[in-house]
Chain A
Amino acid sequence: MAVLHETAPHSRRILSLWLPRFATERRGIEAQEDRPLALTRAERGRLVLTAVDAKATALGLEPGMALADARAMEPELAVADWSMEEDGTLLRDLARWCVRYTPLVSLDPSSSCLSGTIGGDAGLWLDVTGCAHLFGGEEAMIADLVNRLAGLGLTAHAALAGTPGTAWAISHLAAPAKGWCVVPDGREHAAIRDLPTVALRLPAADVEALERMGLRTAGHLMDLPRGPLTARFGVEPGRRIDQALGRIREPITPLAPPAPHRVRFGLPEPIADRQDLAHGVRRLLARMCTRLEQERAGFRRLRIDFFRADGTTRSLSLSTGRPVRDPDTLFRLIDEKLDHLDPGFGVDVMVLEGEVVETTVTHQRDLAGGMAGATGRDDEAVSTLLDRLTNRLGPTSVHRSLPVESHLPERAEARAPAHRPTHWKTARMPSVPRPIRLLPRPEPVEAIALLPDHPPAKFRWRGVDYRVARAAGPERLAPEWWRPEDSHTRDYFRVEDGEGRRFWLYREGLIERGQAASWMMHGLMA
Chain B
Amino acid sequence: MNIKYRISPDTPAGPTDMGALRELVRRMERGDGTVPARGLVLGCPALDDALPEGGLALGRVHEVLGPARSDVRDAAAFGFTIALLALLMKARPQEGPVIWCPRSANLLGGTLYIRGLVGLGLDADRLILVETRDEAERVWALEEALSTKGVLAALAELDPVRADRRDNKTNRRLQLAAERSGVTGFLLRPRMTTASGAAARTTTLVESRWQVSAAPSPLGPHDARPVWSVLLERAKRARRLASEPRRIAWDAPHMSFFEVFDRPAAAAQDPLVPETRGDRRYGRVA
Q: Which residues of A contact B (CB under 8 A)?
A: 374-375, 377-382, 384-386, 388-389, 392-394, 396-401, 403, 405-409, 412-413, 418, 421-425, 427-430, 432-440, 450, 453-455, 457, 468-478, 494, 496, 498-503, 523-526
- Set B75, B112, B118, B148: member contacting A502, Cβ < 8 A: B75
Are B130 and A398 in contact, CB atoms less than 8 angstroms apart? yes
Indicate whether A424 sits within 8 Å of B113 (C-beta atoms), given known contacts A381-B148, A501-B74, A526-B120. no
11 residue pairs from A and B, CB less than 8 Å apart: A381-B148, A385-B144, A388-B144, A403-B124, A428-B285, A434-B119, A438-B112, A454-B272, A500-B229, A524-B75, A526-B250
Q: Which 4 A-B pairs have the closest CB atoms?
A: A378-B150, A526-B79, A437-B110, A500-B214
How long is the Cα–Cα vector from A413 to B113 in the complex, in angstroms?
8
Contact A494 B217 (CB under 8 A): no
Which residues of the partner chain B approach A399 to less than 8 Å between Cβ atoms? 128-129, 131
- How far is the CB of A456 from the nearest CB of chain B, in Å? 9
Partner among A432, A433, A494, A499 whose Cβ is within 8 Å of the Cβ of B214 = A499
The smallest C-beta distance from A523 to any residue of chain B, in angstroms, reads: 6
**Most chain A beta-carbon neighbours within 10 Å: one of B74, B75, B222, B228:** B75
Tell me, rounded to whole Å, the shortest Cβ–Cβ distance linking B91 to chain A.
16
A408 contacts B286, CB within 8 Å? yes
B residues at A contact (CB < 8 Å): 73-76, 78-79, 82-83, 94-97, 99, 107, 109-120, 123-125, 127-133, 137, 140-141, 144-145, 148-151, 213-217, 221-222, 224, 226-229, 250, 271-272, 274-286
The answer to whether A397 touches B150 (Cβ under 8 A) is no
Given A375-B94, A389-B144, A526:B118 Cβ within 8 A: no
Report yes or no: A476 in contact with B280, Cβ–Cβ below 8 A: yes
A380, A435, A470: the one contacting B271 at CB < 8 Å is A470
Closest to A380 in B: B150
Query: Which residues from A are CB-within-8-Å of B132?
Result: 393, 397
Chain B positions within 8 Å of A392 at CB level? 137, 140
Task: Give the residues in chain A near B221, CB-CB below 8 Å.
Answer: 470-472
Q: Which of A377, A378, A413, A502 contacts B115 (CB 8 A)?
A: A413
In the complex, are the beta carbons of A496 and B149 less than 8 A apart? no
How far is the CB of B11 from the nearest CB of chain A, in Å? 40
Q: Considering only CB atoms, which chain B residue lies closest to A418 in the complex?
A: B128
Q: Complex: how many Å from CA A475 to CA B82?
A: 24
Report B232 CB to chain A, min CB distance, Å: 19
Given contacts A421-B125, A425-B125, A500-B217, A412 and B149 within 8 Å (CB-CB): no
Q: In the complex, which residues of chain A have a beta carbon less than 8 angstroms from the beta carbon of B131?
A: 393-394, 396-399
Kindly list chain A residues whose C-beta atoms are within 8 Å of the C-beta of B114. 401, 403, 413, 424
A526 partner residues in chain B, CB cutoff 8 A: 75-76, 78-79, 82-83, 116, 120, 226, 250
Q: Flag if A437 contacts B109 (CB, 8 Å).
A: yes
A-B contact count (CB 8 A): 238
CB pair B214–A502 under 8 Å, yes or no, is yes
Which A residues are CB-close (under 8 A) to B115? 403, 409, 412-413, 429-430, 434
Given A396-B131, A400-B129: A412 touches B116 (CB 8 Å cut-off):
no
Q: Chain A residues with Cβ under 8 A from B286's Cβ?
A: 406-409, 412, 430, 434, 477
Given A401-B114, A473-B276, list of 17 further CB < 8 A pairs?
Answer: A375-B96, A381-B149, A397-B131, A398-B131, A399-B131, A427-B118, A430-B284, A436-B113, A437-B113, A438-B113, A476-B281, A478-B283, A500-B227, A502-B226, A503-B73, A524-B73, A526-B120
| A476, B284: Cβ atoms closer than 8 Å | yes
Contacts of A413 in B (CB 8 A): 113-115
Q: How far is the CA of A396 from the CA of B276 in the complex (A)?
A: 41
B117–A436 contact, CB under 8 A? yes
A468/B150 contact (C-beta < 8 A), A385-B145, A393-B130 known: no
- Complex alpha-carbon distance, A475 and B114, angstroms: 19
| C-alpha gap A382/B151 in the complex (Å) | 6
Identity of the chain A residue whose Cβ is nearest the Cβ of B224 in the assembled complex: A433
* Most chain B beta carbons < 10 A, residue from A378, A381, A401, A498: A401
Does the CB pair B144–A523 fall under 8 Å? no
- B272 close to A471 (CB less than 8 A): yes
Instruction: Find the B residue at minimum CB distance from A428.
Output: B285
In the bound complex, residues from chain B placing their C-beta under 8 Å from that of A425 are 123, 125
Known contacts A381-B148, A523-B110; A468 and B271 CB within 8 A of each other:
yes
Return chain A residues, CB-CB under 8 Å to B109.
Answer: 437, 524
State whether B214 touches A501 (Cβ < 8 A): yes
Contact B285 A430 (CB under 8 A): yes
Of A375, A409, A423, which one neighbours B95 at CB under 8 angstroms? A375
Q: Which of B217, B274, B285 makes the CB contact (< 8 A) with A455?
A: B274
Instruction: Known A382-B151, A430-B285; judge A436-B112 contact (CB<8 A).
Output: yes
Residue of B at shortest CB range from A431?
B284
* B141 and A393 form a contact (CB under 8 A): yes
- In the bound assembly, the distance between CA atoms of A475 and B285 in angstroms comes to 11
Name A415's closest neighbour in chain B (CB-CB). B129
Residue A374 contacts which of B94, B113, B226, B281 (CB distance < 8 angstroms)?
B94
Q: Which residues of chain B are within 8 angstroms of A432 by Cβ–Cβ distance?
A: 224
- Residues in A whose Cβ lies below 8 Å from that of B112: 401, 436-438
Contact B110 A400 (CB under 8 A): no
Residues of B contacting A421 in the complex (Cβ-Cβ under 8 angstroms): 125
